[in-house]
Amino acid sequence: MATAPPLVDGTTVFSAESYFATQPPPTSLQLDVENVSGFIKRHAASGRNVVLVTSGGTTVPLELNVVRFLDNFSAGTRGATSAEYFLKSGYAVIFMHRQFSLQPFSRHYSHSTNPFLDFLEIEPPTSSATASAGAQIRIQPESHAELLSVLSAYKDVHAQGLLHTLTFVTVNDYLWLLRAISQEMGVLGRRGMYYLAAAVSDFFLPRQKMSEHKIQSGKGSLHIEMDQVPKVLKPMVEEWAREGYIVSFKLETDLNLLIPKARQALERYGHQVVIGNDLHHRKYRVVLGKKGGAEYTETWIETSPTAHTEIEEEIIRELMWRHQKWIEKGVVKS
Ligand code: 9Z3
């Protein structure tokens, strides 16, 4: 039976439990879980570390027959770039991303910033062949080395079966998938890492409050009261991924709030690392906060906009090292 969430001042307060009891799972969930389960078991058996990378923004539909939805800015750059560095470092990666957001490897040739077709040239046919039959496509010589390197890494990762990709669109898809995958990853014990870079909506419209059909404009202005998305980091730490190494992200636009909010998240949820970033400098500056007992420590990582390095390379290097220590600490020495 679905438990109705309690009401506070007329608005609904969803716990993770009441959320999952009242909001329906996406239709693809069972199949997605079956597919990812084989991937996890294979890598658990081989003793390889596995990371779940979440990436991109979530939508909040306003109607059941959805015409309109709320969305956010995230393109999935952080997640896609980080996934590549995890793969480079020997991790198997479950890449759970917003449909059509950036993906590892293909991100280098994103349609908006670096269109793939611009790297190709048409070589005219040599002699008597008709133009279309005889024309050849070739890569621009100056783009060849980079493309070869990206393509080789991509092919290698797929040949070794190291990357498993799943998609979400709505915040509801995201929450159901996150719970199911975290639970499946339990077999990895401490070898499982959770790198939660997706930009998840804080508010949503429960199914029970949604209009079935397109909201009509005839009534003038639109008033919608949204409920808070439950804080799922808590059950994730305490129930779904108890042995996992959990890294969450905190995004703010006001720098003065970043550190206090990051600390608050660590205190509230008790996970391993929170990475703070502010919207405008997120590509060049992040802070890794962690708690050890009562002590809070922070490590800043910075690159410059002109440097030819990606900040995710540094982040992953630091996390890998910390994750390794976490794994070793959990091994019972005989
Ligand atoms: C992040 O903070 C990511 O670093 C970004 C990356 C979304 C800023 P892009 O996709 O951006 O590269 O364009 N992600 C987490 C944001 C978030 O929703 N955090 C929640 C919060 O701040 C907590 S889990 O409350």
pLDDT tens-digit readout, 300-325: 999 988 888 999 999 999 999 999 99
8-state DSSP, 280: G
Q: Pick the residue whose CA is nearest to atom 23 on ligand 1.
A: 250
In the predicted model, what is the mean pLDDT of residues 263-283? 96
- Pairwise CA distance, residues 98 & 55, whole Å: 6
Q: Residue 6: its pLDDT value, please?
A: 61
In the predicted model, what is the mean pLDDT of residues 42-48? 98
Stretch among 55-59, 85-89, 131-135 having the lowest mean pLDDT: 131-135
Cβ(78) – ligand 1 distance below 6 Å = yes
Are residues 297 and 287 in contact, defined by beta-carbon separation less than 8 angstroms? Answer: no
- Pairwise CA distance, residues 119 & 115, whole Å: 8
* Token reading at 294: 């009562």
Per DSSP, the three-state class of 98 is: strand
* Token reading at 296: 């809070």
Element (H, E) at 65: none
Q: Residue 334: its pLDDT value, please?
A: 41
Cβ(77) – ligand 1 distance below 6 Å = yes
pLDDT at 244 over 60: yes
* pLDDT tens figures, 124-162: 887 665 655 789 999 999 999 999 999 999 999 999 999
Residue with tokens 């980091």: 233
- State how far Cα 51 lies from the chain centre: 11
- Pairwise CA distance, residues 113 & 97, whole Å: 20
In the predicted model, what is the mean pLDDT of residues 75-81? 98
- Pairwise CA distance, residues 102 & 76, whole Å: 5
Residue 28 neighbours by CB under 8 Å, 6+ apart: none
Cβ(262) – ligand 1 distance below 6 Å = no
pLDDT at 4 over 80: no
Cβ(236) – ligand 1 distance below 6 Å = no
Q: Pick the residue whose CA is nearest to atom 6 on ligand 1.
A: 78
Every domain of the chain and the residues it spans: 24-108+161-215+224-259
Per DSSP, the three-state class of 59 is: strand
Cα–ligand 1 centroid distance for 94 (angstroms)? 18
Are residues 81 and 87 in contact, defined by beta-carbon separation less than 8 angstroms? Answer: no
Cβ(197) – ligand 1 distance below 6 Å = yes
Cβ(196) – ligand 1 distance below 6 Å = yes
Q: Residue 219: its pLDDT value, please?
A: 81
pLDDT tier for residue 111 given thresholds of 50, 70 and 90 = confident
pLDDT at 333 over 90: no
Are residues 245 and 50 in contact, defined by beta-carbon separation less than 8 angstroms? Answer: no
- Mean residue pLDDT of the chain comes to 93
- Pairwise CA distance, residues 84 & 89, whole Å: 9
Cα–ligand 1 centroid distance for 126 (angstroms)? 53
Residue from 70, 77, 251 whose mutation best tests the ligand 1 pocket (most atoms within 8 A of CB) = 251
- Pairwise CA distance, residues 4 & 333, whole Å: 47
Cα–ligand 1 centroid distance for 250 (angstroms)? 6
Question: Could you tell me the fold of the domain covering 24-108+161-215+224-259?
Answer: Rossmann fold (3.40.50)
Cα–ligand 1 centroid distance for 309 (angstroms)? 20
Helices 77-88 and 141-159, axial angle in degrees (round to 10):
70
Cα–ligand 1 centroid distance for 311 (angstroms)? 15
Cα–ligand 1 centroid distance for 199 (angstroms)? 4
Q: Residue 331: its pLDDT value, please?
A: 67
* pLDDT tens figures, 164-202: 999 999 999 999 999 999 999 999 999 999 999 999 999
Cβ(80) – ligand 1 distance below 6 Å = no
In the predicted model, what is the mean pLDDT of residues 206-213? 96
- Pairwise CA distance, residues 291 & 263, whole Å: 8
Cα–ligand 1 centroid distance for 244 (angstroms)? 20
Cα–ligand 1 centroid distance for 243 (angstroms)? 23
pLDDT at 1 over 50: no
Are residues 196 and 269 in contact, defined by beta-carbon separation less than 8 angstroms? Answer: no
Q: Residue 208: its pLDDT value, please?
A: 95
Per DSSP, the three-state class of 50 is: strand
- Count other Cβ atoms within 10 Å, centred on residue 208: 10
* Token reading at 204: 């949503």
